[in-house]
């Protein structure tokens, strides 16, 4: 038997026990590898569980969930992934590509589903988006034009924007990729960029010191580390009088000005569909990685008023949600 045949047989062996459990009504176990905290990811997890329930998988009945929360500390992914593998969970749900990478390094047998992720091929998570191969599949949020779209939206509410502050956790490869896209888009819009890379929570205050009197607005490239510190970021931005834009609505709910990006609850609902397919016998290697189909523009009018920004009526009408 050659290696290719062996791998194919192994892939089939992964799927059949799950299919048998589903057919016999036995309880299966999901391992959830969270990037931040249960509070920060509550809306997303709720969407996942609701969709699983719609598909017949009810927590406490025929499905159990083991949660592990990294609290924005990416170095904990490997430890928690190993714990979930030791528990012999049936599927690992990994919140983001960094969590998925740690899970894949911990197991080549347990199926892994990520509700969102960045450059998955470059990270070695999948062979290709149409044919992932291996034990990993999910949804990719990588889209090259989103950074430019955010800057265009930011200019609509900050018409005199000339100097842009840019920050993010540069230890995250997906953040570095997004920041590169911001630099490219900023050049096209003739914006001067002041950049400060973050690696630790202590760097956040240093970033705002670097931006002092050098920026008209702030673009934050979001990752779990910054998500855990989002209230602190918004407080510092408000004190500096900086309008902010993010790819994640939770920052706007916490006092940021605006966000534009994929609808994460929708991504988690679609991830539940992938989980259901695997539990009913499909192999992750054969399930194509999907792309977002819903993008939300969210703006916080209370924050806009505090910054003395007048938001155009046409802009408000285009917003998916206006927080007052």
- Number of domains, the chain: 2
Range of the domain at 21: 3-141+263-294
Q: Please write the tens of the pLDDT for every residue from 27-53.
A: 899 999 999 999 989 999 999 999 999
Judge if 99 and 232 occupy the same domain: no
d(CA 76, CA 70) in angstroms, rounded, equals 6
Q: pTM for this structure?
A: 0.85
Whether residue 287 is found in the same domain as residue 313: no
The answer to whether residues 223 and 86 belong to one domain is: no
- Both 251 and 267 in one domain: the answer is no
- Quick check: 260 and 296 in contact, CB under 8 A? yes
d(CA 154, CA 219): 9
DSSP string, 300-311: EHHHHHHTT---
C-alpha to C-alpha distances, 129 to 9, 48, 106, 147, 288, nearest whole angstrom: 22, 22, 22, 22, 6
Give which of 217, 228, 289 is closest to 254, Cα–Cα.
Answer: 228
Based on the domain organization, do 276 and 311 belong to the same domain? Answer: no
What is the arithmetic mean of pLDDT over 85-94?
A: 98
Same domain, residue pair 160 and 204: yes
Q: What is the DSSP pairing of strand 295-300 with strand 258-262?
A: antiparallel
pLDDT of res. 288 = 96
Asked if residue 178 and residue 311 are part of one domain, the reply reads: yes
Backbone angles phi, psi at 279, to 5 degrees: -65, -25
pLDDT of residue 23: 47
Tell me if 195 sits within 8 A of 162, measured CB to CB. no
Per-residue pLDDT reduced to its tens digit, 114-168: 999 887 888 889 999 999 999 999 999 875 578 999 999 999 999 999 999 999 9
Is 61 in the same domain as 186?
A: no
Helix (H, G, I), strand (E, B) or coil at 150: helix
Same domain flag for 309 and 229: yes
Query: 10 pLDDT exceeds 70?
Result: no
- Are 70 and 104 in the same domain? yes
Please state, for a pLDDT cut of 70, what percent of the chain lies above it. Answer: 91
32 and 104 share one domain: yes
């Amino acid at each position: 038997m050659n290696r290719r045949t062996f791998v194919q047989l192994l892939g089939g062996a992964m799927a059949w026990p799950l299919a048998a459990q589903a057919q016999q009504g036995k309880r299966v176990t999901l391992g959830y590898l969270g990037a931040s905290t249960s509070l920060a990811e509550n809306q997303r997890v709720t969407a996942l569980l609701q969709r699983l329930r719609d598909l017949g998988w009810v927590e406490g009945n025929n499905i159990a969930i083991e949660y592990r929360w990294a609290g924005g500390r990416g170095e904990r992914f490997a430890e928690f992934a190993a714990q979930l593998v030791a528990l012999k969970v049936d599927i690992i749900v990994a919140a983001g590509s960094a969590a998925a990478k740690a899970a894949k390094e911990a197991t080549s047998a347990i199926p892994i589903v990520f509700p969102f992720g960045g450059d998955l091929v470059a990270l070695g998570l999948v062979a290709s988006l149409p044919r992932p191969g291996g034990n990993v599949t999910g949804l990719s949020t990588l889209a090259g034009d989103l950074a430019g779209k955010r800057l265009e939206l930011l200019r609509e509410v900050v018409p005199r924007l000339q100097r842009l502050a840019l920050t993010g956790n540069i230890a995250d490869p997906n953040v570095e990729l997004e920041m590169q896209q911001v630099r490219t888009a900023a050049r096209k819009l003739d914006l001067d960029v002041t950049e400060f890379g973050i690696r630790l929570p202590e760097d956040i205050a240093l970033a705002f010191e670097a931006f002092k009197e050098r920026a008209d607005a702030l673009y934050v490239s979001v990752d779990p580390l910054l998500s855990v510190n989002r209230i602190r970021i918004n407080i510092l931005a408000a004190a500096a009088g900086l309008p902010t834009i993010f790819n994640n609505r939770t920052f706007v709910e916490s006092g940021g000005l605006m966000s534009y990006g994929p609808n994460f609850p929708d991504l988690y609902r679609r991830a539940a569909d992938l989980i259901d397919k695997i539990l009913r016998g499909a192999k992750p290697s054969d399930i194509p990685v999907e792309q977002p189909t819903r993008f939300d523009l969210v703006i916080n009018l209370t924050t806009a008023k505090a910054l003395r920004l007048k938001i155009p009526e046409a802009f408000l009408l285009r917003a998916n949600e206006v927080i007052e």
